[in-house]
Structure 1
């Protein structure tokens, strides 16, 4: 933690724990603390404690926006996975996430949508329903 952690930094830490605790997002922050501690601090303070903590959108809506952004970029697959895990963690449904991604087909392109869905196959594939037959 920075020497003089401000309120936004502490808010950022709390939000990261809520969204990304024990998921890919937390691992990405932890990895960045080793590689470039300043970038990790800026991410915690500004992105999570500032931008993500603003009023006006609920957390699920924010995660769906970030999922759409990662799909559109096309090269942010680790971040996409982290935001999908976070969205599920806070109550978004798999259907909401898939529909968000599908909405990008004509704006970001079919290949970007396909690649995102394949990347997230292990998370978004419906679980088989248990058989009632012995």
Structure 2
């Protein structure tokens, strides 16, 4: 069952501004979600996404909801560490052929300690379960993400 939005139906954690545009209150889950999101994505990449993907009112609303509900509530749950949750997302994205999400979740997996070799082996293991075409696309996505992350790391060392 989908999460129900409290009050006037605005994104969780973001209260509708009063007349005159006063700032919105930010919930504990939103703050926790921002912290986890930054850890998973890496601060520079999270900032880049905020500036390029979530830079208009419609996508900001979506991003605010994701920070609170997905990162602040789901990713913050106890029972599994972030590293395990990241691998679950990689597997789920591959099985569902969600390539843009896979790129994001591969970054999460690398940032939580999975190596390129471990991730490629996890993807290879899926060949018998989701099929070669899906794994081929996942491997191509991983190749691009790993190259992008290496390029970003070189830029930080300068």
Do the two structures share a fold, i.e. TM-score over 0.5? yes
SS at match of 2:54: helix
**1:4/1:51 CA distance change after superposition, 3 Å:** same
1:16 to 37, 54, 57: 37
2:54 alignment counterpart: 32
Work out whether 1:107 is the aligned partner of 2:107. Answer: no
Work out whether 1:68 is the aligned partner of 2:91. Answer: yes
CA RMSD of aligned residues (A): 2.1
| Runs ≥4 residues deviating over 6 A | none
Paired with 1:80 and 1:27, the residues of 2 have a C-alpha distance of: 18
TM-score w.r.t. the length of structure 2 is 0.69
- Provide Cα deviations, 1:17-61, integer angstroms capped at 9, x if missing partner: 1111223x6544541342422211110000000001100111110
Q: Any stretches of 5+ residues in structure 1 without a counterpart?
A: 128-134
Larger radius of gyration: 2
Number of residue pairs matched?
A: 123
Q: Any stretches of 5+ residues in structure 2 without a counterpart?
A: 1-12, 15-23, 151-158
